[in-house]
Structure 1
Amino acid sequence: MTFRLHEGRLLRDDEPFTALGVTYFPVRAGCRLWVDWDPDVVAADLRRIADAGLNTVRVFVFWRDFHPEPGRVDAQALARLRRLVELADAAGLSCVLSVLTLFMNGQLLDLPWRGGRSLWRDPEMLAAQETFVRAVAATVADRANVLALDLGDEISNVDPDEAATLTSAEVAHWYGRLVGAIRQVAPEVLVCQANNALTVLGGSAFGPATGRVLDLLAVHGFPLWSPGHIESTLSPKATQLPAFLARLAGAYGVALVDELGTYGAGDEVAAAYLRASAASVLANGAAGVIVWCWQDSTSTAEPYDRRPAERMVGLHRADGTPKPAMAAYRQVVDAAPALVRTAGPARVAVWPVTGRPAGGGSYLDPHRDAVSPFFAYLLLKRLHVDADVVAAPAAGHRLLVCPSVDQVTLADLEHLRAALHRGATVYYSLGDHLHGFPGAELVGAEIVDYDLTGRDRQEIRWDGEVLPVDWAVAGAVPTTLRATSGRALAAYPDGTPAVVVNAVGAGRLVFTNVPFERQLDAAGRFALAPWERFYRRLTELAGVGPVVRCSDPEVEVVPVDGGVALVNHRDRAVTVRVGRDGDDPDADLVVDLTEKGWTVARLPMTPRRAASTTVGMA
């Protein structure tokens, strides 16, 4: 195989490779492409995909079409799969093959012989999966254009109730068995497994933290099916979510956004969403982006018979004419080399301290927070402060953000102490006051009691600035703090501490007993106040302001190989001033950005309009 990973980068023939592709179904055959096989149609479609400037195609291998009986994998179906991969290669396309496909468009395209048995616990089903993935891998093992095999797209949806009971160890064991089966016949092929935002952020065992045995960690970005009360497709939260998911997955491996698109949106809205989200994904370091999907379908077979609207989310209409989203995507594709990010670690990191569920489901189990790290990421983006998302603290991070922590383990506390003794500033907001409190020694304050009424806890006052607190949205119990070795930086109306700073080793811990990030999770609430000012105080304490300043908080600023990526996440055009921190403001670059538009700018030393100093403006 020509694809491999090196130092967190995807390479093809030892050269950096960014996957830029689409999910493919033939217009008429739809999900019956293997049964109603037409190689001439497939070949023509793949040539059109390549002619559109794309380099990757993602294809579903519907398990029931290949494995009609427990002991027999259909040789003809495997030959058709190999032929598709060959046709893709002839067109200049790499392939991502989603192998154990049972769940599609909200329906179960099940094996006739599974009989409801568990994919993850039944010995015969586990053996059958090994047999099948081994057969697929052997079929394409010598094809140099196979980018990756996906073990099973959103596979937890095959049986959501059972999937919710799986432990991380069980999922890791399942991954290991199937990866091992593939390696037996195709030792160099890359392997991934793709999940949607609800799975990635919802505390599922299928989240990125379990996938360390995988080569790529694939995530899906659809604003309609996401936590975080995303108000609309054009919400700034919507177009920043896929990049955050990629950053989160990237904490555990190499991230690939292998589904990106919209549902329930008009053509122009879909184009605007794709324009900003795809550019942001690449600028934030993903190995690639694969859009859902290439073309509308006219198929009336499963799963479209029950959900016909699923046929209408392509980049092209069924007659082949492009929708506005195709033009938006092509602009990103053409500018991808300038958007790609290979920067080193940032000075700031968001660490989602999630603890580990005990598995008992008792009243002692804390709330499993899905969205606080996302809101921490958004607040830093509004300040134009570049930040990593990490699985654990590392040397070099001057500010470590631990948002709305519900459960902290002894191992987590050791990581915190190590970061503090290295001299980091650690910000820690409290989610669950029992299981998330890191201890009075680190905090420099103790919890006196809880108070369900929340009296005099409705706002934080910090040097004359007031920020409201909504405990109902936070889903947390208000508490009273008493400072011990720490010093109060901010207070509630009754004068008790709301924010405390405490020196620990060479560093300091800044603590608040408000789940500050989680209390932002209500429709419309994020736009009600300049919440990022709270985080600005944290960055000032740590001495880690933005490297590049920008006049609009909803314009994302990311250092990339081509300069500085500027992504407008607003639903309207904006004109912004951009300059290096410390430079003369008169030398700022003036940049005009369309609705959800983006550009890559090279900052000048003298004032000028953006058109002369940008690459790939959209």
Structure 2
Amino acid sequence: MPPAVPRFGVNYTPSEGWFHHWLDFDLDSVRADLDSIAALGLDHIRVFPLWPYFQPDRTLIRPRAVEQLVALADAAAERGLDVNVDGLQGHLSSFDFLPAWTRTWHRRNLFTDPDVVEGEAAYLRTLASALADRPNFIGMTVGNEVNQFASGPHPDPDRVTEEGAERWLTRLLDACAEGAPGRTHLHASYDAAWYQDDQPFTPAHSARLGDVTAVHSWVFNGTAQRHGRTALQTEQHAAYLVELSKAWADRPHRPVWLQEVGAPAPLIPAEHAAAFAEATITAVLDCPDLWGVTWWCSHDVSRGLADFPELEYGLGVFTNDRKPKEIAHVLAAARPRIPRERGTALVVPADPARRSACAPGGPVYDAYFRLAADGARPTTVLDTRATDRDHLVARGITEVVHPDQVLPTPQGGTRS
């Protein structure tokens, strides 16, 4: 079940050294960052060890690095902040961080090579075990958007089948649970899992494996380009992903965590970031079964660091010198609300080879926002469950509609 009230937090990006801070770990600097986060009244952070720094050899998980991670978690606890830890980093802010024992001369598939998978499992188990007795440890996320390694547009993907992706996720989630039994362990995909027909990490994987469904909502995926910064489709994209995920869940009230959402410039200009955040959070808080919202990110990337995409330098709710922006005050003012069940369900294809229907510009996406514009509060249901009365009743669904019942006909006719 989701928490009694949604959680509010940020993805922690250190103000000094970005995630390279693990190479020159300064606990005082971390404490100062956490002080700024705690001052907003937030309750958790998501933390990113960089995988090659923590496990530079398949059989070497650096004890000192693990100690530093625990020290960070303890510093967060002192400030009333709970901690979720992403293990396999993986991919962050356009950069890939993969250990040398998986690349070039040692090229081995991240998802299918038995030795690599057991090395990954050992790493996740070690991190989870180190934090298992910390009361403020939420649990592990297997990694950050690891599905981007499995398919295009990645320039050098590690190919895996849908079945292989499920085996891999199950093995690594089990490793997290072995290290820290009873905690909340999950995995996280970027939105290709929901939108890209040939992506081997599927909506069913996201909605059925692990303890919570994670969605990452970025409007630079064609949403803001197509509709503009103030459009319903842009301001409610996160809510759409939350409700889309529920179609595939086996549990009627499985929690959904909006684990990443941010205001990317220039599509969302800096002077409009706070308004975008307020609209996004207001919309998503109207979704039942919301675990929480974790904004990307805490602190800006320093301009002293090179080669980041331009948008990455300004995504923080704090400047690089820890000064709060207007968007920080929006997060501080966010308050839970009690959402009503969503009785109207839009039918979506269960076949993952047809999931592009749900992507920006697809018929499911367009129909959802037509309903929302008309004042409805839609959710989604799989075509294979659309007549399953027990399933509909369990979810509080009283009306089922198909996209072609919502959208105009190709000849420009009206809704039926």
TM-score by length of 1: 0.59
Name the aligned partner's letter for residue 24 of structure 2. Answer: D
Could you tell me which runs of 5 or more consecutive residues in structure 1 were left unpaired when the two chains were aligned.
Answer: 1-5, 11-15, 358-365, 405-426, 431-456, 461-465, 468-533, 538-618
Judge conservation of contact 1:93–1:145 (CA < 8 Å) in 2: yes
Give the deviation of 1:210 after TM superposition.
1.5
- How far apart, CA to CA, are the structure 2 residues paired with 1:133 and 1:40? 26
| Partner in structure 2 of residue 256 of structure 1 | 257
- How far apart, CA to CA, are the structure 1 residues paired with 2:269 and 2:223? 22
Name the aligned partner's letter for residue 241 of structure 1. Answer: H
| Partner in structure 1 of residue 190 of structure 2 | 196
| Partner in structure 1 of residue 205 of structure 2 | 210
| Partner in structure 2 of residue 491 of structure 1 | none
Give the deviation of 1:165 after TM superposition.
5.2
Name the aligned partner's letter for residue 270 of structure 2. Answer: D
Give the secondary structure class of the aligned counterpart of 1:119.
coil
Evaluate the alpha carbon distance shift between residue 308 and residue 38 of structure 1 in structure 2; reply closer, same or farther with a 3 A threshold: farther
Aligned residues: 388
Which of 152, 155, 168 aligns to 2:162? It is: 168
Give the deviation of 1:227 after TM superposition.
5.6
| Partner in structure 1 of residue 234 of structure 2 | 238
Judge conservation of contact 1:117–1:125 (CA < 8 Å) in 2: yes
Give the deviation of 1:20 after TM superposition.
0.4
- How far apart, CA to CA, are the structure 1 residues paired with 2:398 and 2:157? 38
Judge conservation of contact 1:234–1:269 (CA < 8 Å) in 2: no
Q: String of CA shifts for 1:384-443, please: whole Å, max 9, x gaps.
A: 223322343334433212336xxxxxxxxxxxxxxxxxxxxxx5999xxxxxxxxxxxxx
| Partner in structure 1 of residue 332 of structure 2 | 330
Which of 294, 306, 309 aligns to 1:307? It is: 309
Do structure 1's residue 297 and structure 2's residue 297 form an aligned pair?
A: no
1:94-105 residue pairs with structure 2 within 5 A? 94-105=82-93
- How far apart, CA to CA, are the structure 2 residues paired with 1:164 and 1:398? 43
- How far apart, CA to CA, are the structure 2 residues paired with 1:403 and 1:112? 47
Structure of higher CA gyration radius: 1
Give the secondary structure class of the aligned counterpart of 1:148.
strand
If asked which structure has higher relative contact order (CA below 8 Å, sep 6+), I would say 2
- How far apart, CA to CA, are the structure 2 residues paired with 1:402 and 1:164? 36
Evaluate the alpha carbon distance shift between residue 209 and residue 181 of structure 1 in structure 2; reply closer, same or farther with a 3 A threshold: same
Give the deviation of 1:163 after TM superposition.
6.0
TM-score by length of 2: 0.86
| Partner in structure 1 of residue 114 of structure 2 | 123
Name the aligned partner's letter for residue 88 of structure 1. Answer: A
Give the deviation of 1:159 after TM superposition.
4.6
Judge conservation of contact 2:91–2:146 (CA < 8 Å) in 1: yes
Structure having the larger proportion of residues in helix: 2
Name the aligned partner's letter for residue 317 of structure 1. Answer: T
Name the aligned partner's letter for residue 402 of structure 1. Answer: H
- How far apart, CA to CA, are the structure 2 residues paired with 1:39 and 1:97? 17
- How far apart, CA to CA, are the structure 1 residues paired with 2:97 and 2:285? 33
1:198-597 residue pairs with structure 2 within 5 A? 198-203=192-197, 204-211=199-206, 212-226=208-222, 230-251=226-247, 252=249, 253-264=254-265, 265-285=268-288, 286-298=290-302, 300-301=304-305, 304-307=306-309, 309-332=311-334, 335-336=335-336, 339-341=337-339, 343-344=340-341, 346-357=342-353, 368-369=356-357, 370=359, 371-391=362-382, 392-393=385-386, 394-396=391-393, 397-403=397-403, 459=411, 466-467=413-414, 534=415, 537=416
Which of 66, 77, 90 aligns to 1:89? It is: 77
Could you tell me which runs of 5 or more consecutive residues in structure 2 were left unpaired when the two chains were aligned.
Answer: none
Q: String of CA shifts for 1:35-92, please: whole Å, max 9, x gaps.
A: 1101111112212211111111111121111101111100000001111111111110
1:43-58 residue pairs with structure 2 within 5 A? 43-58=31-46
Judge conservation of contact 1:347–1:386 (CA < 8 Å) in 2: yes
1:176-191 residue pairs with structure 2 within 5 A? 176-191=170-185
Evaluate the alpha carbon distance shift between residue 181 and residue 383 of structure 1 in structure 2; reply closer, same or farther with a 3 A threshold: same
Name the aligned partner's letter for residue 55 of structure 2. Answer: H
Give the secondary structure class of the aligned counterpart of 1:287.
strand
Name the aligned partner's letter for residue 221 of structure 1. Answer: S
Give the deviation of 1:276 after TM superposition.
0.1
Evaluate the alpha carbon distance shift between residue 143 and residue 351 of structure 1 in structure 2; reply closer, same or farther with a 3 A threshold: farther
Evaluate the alpha carbon distance shift between residue 95 and residue 143 of structure 1 in structure 2; reply closer, same or farther with a 3 A threshold: same
Name the aligned partner's letter for residue 315 of structure 1. Answer: V
Give the deviation of 1:94 after TM superposition.
1.0
Give the deviation of 1:308 after TM superposition.
5.6
Judge conservation of contact 1:201–1:227 (CA < 8 Å) in 2: no
Q: String of CA shifts for 1:80-121, please: whole Å, max 9, x gaps.
A: 111111111111011121110121111212212212321111
Judge conservation of contact 1:57–1:94 (CA < 8 Å) in 2: yes
- How far apart, CA to CA, are the structure 1 residues paired with 2:130 and 2:376? 47
- How far apart, CA to CA, are the structure 2 residues paired with 1:171 and 1:18? 30
Give the deviation of 1:458 after TM superposition.
5.0
Q: String of CA shifts for 1:507-538, please: whole Å, max 9, x gaps.
A: xxxxxxxxxxxxxxxxxxxxxxxxxxx2xx5x
Q: Identity of counterpart residues, as a percentage? A: 23
- How far apart, CA to CA, are the structure 2 residues paired with 1:27 and 1:155? 24
Judge conservation of contact 1:223–1:232 (CA < 8 Å) in 2: no
* CA RMSD of superposed structures (Å): 2.5
- How far apart, CA to CA, are the structure 1 residues paired with 2:213 and 2:33? 28
